[in-house]
Amino acid sequence: MNTIKLLIAVSLLAGAFSLSAFAQSVTLLEPADGATIWGQIINARWVSEGIDIQPADGQHAEGVGHYHLMLMARADAQLNLKPGEPIGKSDWTVHSTEESYRFENIKPGPYTLFLVLADGQHVPNDPPIMHAVHFNVVAVDPGSGVQETPWWLVALILGGIIGVAYFLTRGQ
């Protein structure tokens, strides 16, 4: 009877471990797919499930990996990942263990942002665990009023308006 219980327990554990590979995922939270971003800064945020995130160490370990962010200046960009081959280095590839990154000095135009999970040798899973979003970056025209106003300037202007209103209503 104990042998049967042991076999059942081992089977359940084996099933749980094999299902954990299917539960691995990455999801880009920001920017949103289809978003319009004003300015030259792209704040990327993401989450992952079912993987232990650690710095790349040149080793392959099951269930351990790190993130690769790839920003491409095309709305219809495709990622050509070859099974078993590491993700190459480029100006538009970021390796990270963090769940956020800030791209700066981005030119206006359509973009695709890829988030890919890879092992310590920079080799993506097969099939790849990845997520992509498409968005558009729009330049901010200084005369459009869309740029960010410093908080201290807003406070100064509001204080002046309140002061003038008080002065004008004080005599009545």
Report the CATH number at residue 30. Answer: 2.60.40.10
Would you mind telling me the total number of residues written for the chain in this entry? Answer: 172
In a domain, residue 113? The reply is yes
> Confidence class of residue 7 from pLDDT cuts 50, 70 and 90?
very low
Structure tokens at 135: 């968005």
- Nearest Cα neighbor of 46 from 20, 25, 74 is 25
pLDDT, one tens digit per residue, over 24-45 is: 999 999 999 999 999 999 999 9
Looking at every residue in the chain, the average pLDDT score rounds to 82
pLDDT for the residue 46: 95
Q: Is the pLDDT of residue 20 over 80?
A: no
Q: Which residue has the higher pLDDT, 23 or 2?
A: 23
pLDDT of residue 132: 95
How many alpha carbons fall within 13 Å on the CB side of residue 53?
17
Residue 110: which domain range?
Answer: 26-159
Q: Is pLDDT above 60 for 14?
A: no
The answer to whether position 170 is within a domain reads no
pLDDT digits (tens, 9 = 90+) for 86-137: 887 777 788 888 999 999 999 999 999 999 999 888 899 888 999 999 999 9
Report whether pLDDT(9) > 70.
Answer: no
Residue 152 has pLDDT above 60, yes or no: yes
Is residue 41 in a domain? yes
Would you say residue 117 lies in a domain? yes
Tell me, yes or no, whether 6 lies in a domain. Answer: no
> pLDDT class for 5, splitting at 50, 70, 90?
low
Total structural domains within the chain:
1
> Is residue 165 in some structural domain?
no
Query: Of residues 98 and 150, which shows the higher confidence score?
Result: 98
Task: Return the number of other C-beta atoms located less than 10 Å from residue 39's C-beta.
Answer: 15
Residue 17 has φ and ψ, to the nearest 5°, of -65, -40
